[in-house]
Structure 1
Amino acid sequence: MSNLINTTLLIIGGGPGGYVAAIRAGQLGIPTVLVEGASLGGTCLNIGCIPSKALIHVAEKFHALQGYDKHSALGIQVSSPTLDLERSVAWKDAIVKKLTTGVGALLKKNKVTVVQGWAHIIDGKTVDVDPVAKGKAGAPQRIRCEHLLLATGSEPVALPFMPFGGSVISSTEALSPKTLPASLAVVGGGYIGLELGTAYRKLGVKVDVIEAQDRVLPAYDAELVKPVHAALKTLGVGLHLQTQVLGLAEDGKGVRIQPAKGAEQILAAQQILVAVGRKPRSRGFGLSSLMLDMNGLAVRIDDRCHTSMNGVWAIGDLTGEPMLAHRAMAQGECVAEQIAGLTRRFMPAAIPAVCFTDPEVVTAGLSPQQAAADGLDTVEGVFPLAANGRAMTLESSDGFVRVVARRDNHLIIGWQAVGRGVSEFSASFAQSIEMGACLEDVAHTIHAHPTQSEAIQEAALRALGQAVHI
């Protein structure tokens, strides 16, 4: 084949895992080709993490201005705000473009060859790339490699009885609205549904959330969820818990729902956002030809991110939960360094997770319930943000910080927090666990005053029975 490319490392997928692996490989002098069929940055930069946080910020600003008409405690009075949705979406898109352009520049700087097109695996060393993504017809580009890294990410899960289309949308469409619906039914009370549902409600949309479990954010423990639940009720979000979705209403203007206790009913909604989860993108590019060991739709990997085939690696959402961009990035670096001959394992002590609701939720390591299930004898320290001066000045005193440590040696094994802005605690949480910190290490570290992060120190002090401010 005349258009054959030979390389050491071939990466399929230009999302956070793929592009970070490519940049790190380039830094290490590894000849690298990155294949991406859509836009560099993957779901995270284009239709996930970044645009959702931009939309959340717009919604928070708009909602705050509306609130100042009603809440005079701060002494601020404004007239009712208006929203230029087209301009808001354009601002969000500009951030996305700046970041994705930056990724392209970094890849070029590190001498990574980017091939725009859709990959199809021939075998563990050979991939054909269909160039139609550039609008070019013609023969596929063949690439041969010594190492193949699969980083194809994930995609929204569709309901078979209510597929995407028309009034039924996924998070992708919800992040780039042309107009706002008068009402939105969110199917799924996990972090994606609540983040977007909260944003839409703050923008003035009537929002109802339908969740099959007995609480929203069922993946988190009940105490963490309580402030989120209360905030949703205050916002006027309708919560339909322990309720099943049966399908679209006959006229398409709502959904048929079945509460655990009660008769089937119609929940009216102009749009229906299905946010019941994501699944590994493991089909459509010839993965089955490799006959890899799988966990359902996810590729099974070991602690080096290696698959069951020699020379084939996999990272990120393709390998299953937790589906987090920062996990994929860390795995990408791990693979690149191994290919360069370095000794690496992907064995993090903790991977932080954040839910950008209002209030935010952040976790790292084990919850008290998880620790108990593992048979660990633990001690906990909980510090309420209501006792934190900086939180009071930010009108964000709902929530708390909790630390979980072993009782025998005070080794910290978990952190949880709920409150406004606590997503920024994630680095401190993960770092303390990764470095093997004990309660005394955190308790005796001077935290700046006045900051919300003082609650981290206070939680550790409280676990030791030495709390000062409560």
Structure 2
Amino acid sequence: MSDSFDVIVIGAGPGGYVTAIRASQLGLKTAIVERENLGGVCLNWGCIPTKALLKTGEVYEQLSHLDAYGISIQGRSYDFAKVIERSRGVAKQLSGGVAFLMKKHRIEVVEGEAKLEKGSPAPKVVVALKAGGSRNLTAKHVILATGARARVIPAVGLVPDGDRIWTYREAMTPKACPKSLIVIGSGAIGIEFASFYRALGADVTVIEALDRILPVEDEEVSKAAHKAFEKRGMKFRVSAKVSKLAKTKTGVSVTLEKETLEAEVAIVAVGIDGNVENLGLEALGVKIDRGHVVIDKTCKTNVPGLYAIGDVAGPPWLAHKASHEGVHCVEHIAGHPSANLTAPIPGCTYATPQVASVGLTEAAAKAAGIEVKVGRFPFRVNGKAIAAGELDGFVKTVFDAKTGALIGAHMIGHEVTEMIQGFAIAMTLEATEEDLFATVFAHPTMSEAMHEASLDAYGRVLHI
């Protein structure tokens, strides 16, 4: 067994394993080091199993509205253990699929914890093996794809205890559904867990330090989401900073400036920190800024032969961004610089209703000095949405008024996380308003709202 490779990838999440596959396709002898599970946090404890939970919540909640479709049932209930079991089964299936892909592409999987030491032409990788002992691996290029973890704030008690104070990891495998829940942080992770537990009947309160929920989204979408979530029974505290989180005899208490809230459980969702510790980066002199490895436009660090991709290299902290960066990085290494690292990256929140966006918000465009044309179209007048009974939400488009380029798109509503890709493709291809006007959208589909929102920006909307 050789210990010398062209490329060594550290971390087998969606960034790392996709990078390894592309490296192998390009003829590079590749190894991947993983300390826990193939698929990383995303497949095992993040993106995928949470969507399984959210689907269960969506189906269960829909049972309360079947009369609108002319259907009636007697009673409803759920088996929480089976809900969690299904989620874990989905994660296990996909992790096994990654193992198959590694074998198919002849990528050597090294199970253990990696540490970097000085070497040439790239740092040496010393792996403390899961099975015991160690291996010293060398390569021409080493790519860090170690991801990130939930941020904790010990000073005010925002630290998981595995019992009453959870991060996303504990929130995915509890033994029972809590009757009451406080979620600290209203980004995608916090809102998704709030949405799931509310669907199963929990009393949910979300706390956000900024002045609106989903603060990275367009302001109109944030306001619409707030209203829609409140309609489902979720409660919010915005512009509210936590001064103390503590366990009580019956659960937890959260102290804010003007009040103290109590619940059975709290979920801490206040951001993430890159996994940069215990890798030997300090000794190598790797430049780190605010907990993330600093890279250039080809994903190189300041250390020869060392690259970084995905969450460990900074925001946006999204699995598809990590995969895209990894492909770009390894194609550059192989002398095939084809991937566009500056392609627009869509963001999605899988709550009920869903939220999706790509590009600049209206406010960000104006702050950058761009004169904009803005269009909107509500789903309440879309034929497919009416037929499906999914009337909430809208599509919003932002165009550069001078060039006609689509520079932003924002949606809230049923399955908009599937629809946003159409706008992402348009922006990648540098589409203008005329290109979107000339595109034929199938009828009846909810995607017709995308066409109408584009037309509306130029006073040509047809159905309102």
Q: Is the structural similarity TM-score above 0.5?
A: yes
| Structure 1 residue 446 corresponds to structure 2 residue 434 | no
Question: Per-residue deviation at 1:443?
Answer: 1.2
- Give the number of aligned pairs: 457
CA gap 1:12/1:83 in 2 versus in 1, 3 angstroms: same
Aligned 8 A contact 1:298 1:320 in 2: yes
1:417 to 2:417 alignment: no
Q: Distance in 1 between matches of 2:252 and 2:84?
A: 26
Which 4+ stretches in 1 moved above 4 angstroms?
Answer: none
| Residue 154 (structure 1) aligned with residue 148 (structure 2) | yes
Determine the C-alpha separation between the residues in 1 that align with 2:30 and 2:338: 19
Task: Give the drift of 1:360.
Answer: 1.1
Q: Secondary structure at the match of 1:233?
A: helix
- Partner residue in 1 for 2:355: 361
1: CA distance, partners of 2:189 / 2:176: 20
Residue of structure 1 in register with 2:31 after alignment: 33
Tell me if structure 1 keeps the 8 A contact 2:212–2:223. Answer: no
Paired amino acid for 1:79: Q
**CA deviations over 1:41-96 (Å, ceiling 9, x no partner):** 1111010000111100001111111333xxx3322111221111222222222211
Per-residue deviation at 1:362? 0.9
Find 1:20's aligned residue among 18, 21, 26.
18
Decide which of 90, 96, 121 is 1:95's aligned counterpart: 90
Report deviation, 1:409: 2.4
* C-alpha separation in 2, matches of 1:299 and 1:314: 7
Are residues 1:380 and 2:377 paired? no
Question: Quick check: 2:359–2:407 contact (8 Å CA) kept in 1?
Answer: yes
Deviation at 1:436, TM superposition (A): 0.8
Q: How does 1:30-69 map to 2 (within 5 A)?
A: 30-68=28-66
The 3-state SS of whatever aligns with 2:455 is helix
Q: Structure 2 CA distance, aligned partners of 1:253 and 1:102? A: 39
Which of 160, 168, 177 is equivalent to 1:164? 160
Provide the residue aligned with 1:107 in structure 2. 102
Q: Which residue of 2 aligns with 1:215?
A: 212
Query: Distance between the aligned counterparts of 1:257 and 1:189, measured in 2?
Result: 17
Name the residue aligned to 1:241: 238
Q: String of CA shifts for 1:294-319, please: whole Å, max 9, x gaps.
A: 22211111111111122111000011
Task: Report what 1:126 is aligned to.
Answer: 124
Contact 1:10-1:32 within 8 A present in 2 as well: yes
- Tell me the alpha carbon deviations over residues 80-129 of structure 1, each in whole angstroms, 9 at most, x when there is no partner: 21111222222222211221111111111111000001111112421111
Instruction: Specify the alignment match of 2:325 in structure 1.
Output: 331
Please give the secondary structure, in 1, of the residue aligned with 2:317. coil
Q: Does the aligned pair in 2 maintain the 1:209–1:237 contact within 8 Å?
A: yes
CA offset digits 1:432-468 (Å, max 9, x no partner): 0110101111111110000000011111111222111
Is the deviation greater in 170-179 or in 314-323?
Answer: 170-179
Give the corresponding residue for 1:433: 427
Which letter does structure 2 place at the counterpart of 1:286?
A: G
Question: What residue identity is the alignment partner of 2:100?
Answer: A
| Secondary structure of 1:455 counterpart | helix
Superposition pairs of residues 234-273 of structure 1, within 5 angstroms: 234-245=231-242, 246-251=244-249, 253-259=251-257, 262=258, 264-265=259-260, 267-273=261-267
- Superposition deviation, residue 275 in structure 1: 0.7
1-side partners of 2:153 and 2:406: how far apart?
40
Q: For residue 180 of structure 1, what is the aligned residue in structure 2?
A: 177
Runs of 5+ unmatched residues, structure 2: none
Kindly state the Cα deviation for residue 426 of structure 1 after the two structures are TM-superposed.
2.0
State how far apart, in whole Å, the 2-side matches of 1:381 and 1:14 are.
Answer: 41
Q: Counterpart of 1:84?
A: 79
Q: What is the TM-score with the length of structure 1 in the denominator?
A: 0.94
The secondary structure found in structure 2 opposite 1:243 is coil
1:156-179 residue CA offsets vs partner (Å, 9 max, x unmatched): 011213221131111011112221
Query: Structure 2 counterpart of 1:271, which letter?
Result: V
Q: CA RMSD in A?
A: 1.5
In the alignment, what sits opposite 1:196?
193
* Runs (5+) with no aligned partner, structure 1: none
- Once residues 111 and 347 of structure 1 are traced to their aligned partners in structure 2, the CA distance between those partners, rounded to angstroms, is 27
Partners of 2:411 and 2:420 within 8 A in 1: no
Question: Could you list the per-position Cα deviations for residues 373-401 of structure 1 after superposition, in whole angstroms to 9, with x for gaps in the alignment?
Answer: 11111111111111111111222221111
Deviations 1:137-184 (A, max 9, x none): 3x3111011101000000001121322113111101111222111211
Deviates further, 386-395 or 53-62: 386-395
Indicate the residue corresponding to 1:286 in structure 2: 280
Q: Which secondary structure state, in structure 2, belongs to the residue aligned with residue 215 of structure 1?
A: coil
Give the secondary-structure state (helix, strand or coil) at the position aligned to 2:68: coil
Shift of 1:249: 4.9
Q: After superposition, give the CA deviation of every residue in 1:418-438 in whole Å (9 maximum; x if it has no partner).
A: 111101122111110110101
Cα distance in 2 between the residues matched to 1:151 and 1:183 = 36
Question: Paired residue for 2:70, among 62, 70, 75?
Answer: 75
1:312 maps to which of 306, 322, 338: 306
- Aligned residue identity for 1:413: I
CA pair 312-346 structure 1, distance change in 2 beyond 3 A: farther
Tell me how far apart the structure 2 counterparts of residues 26 and 73 of structure 1 sit (CA, whole Å): 53
Partners of 2:256 and 2:335 in 1: how far apart? 57
- The answer to whether the 8 A contact 1:216-1:229 is kept is yes
Please give the alpha-carbon distance, in whole angstroms, between the structure 1 residues aligned to 2:238 and 2:334: 51
Contact 2:328 2:341 in 1 (8 A): no
Which 10-residue stretch deviates more, 283-292 or 53-62?
283-292
1:173 aligned partner, one-letter code: E
Calculate percent identity across the aligned residue pairs: 36
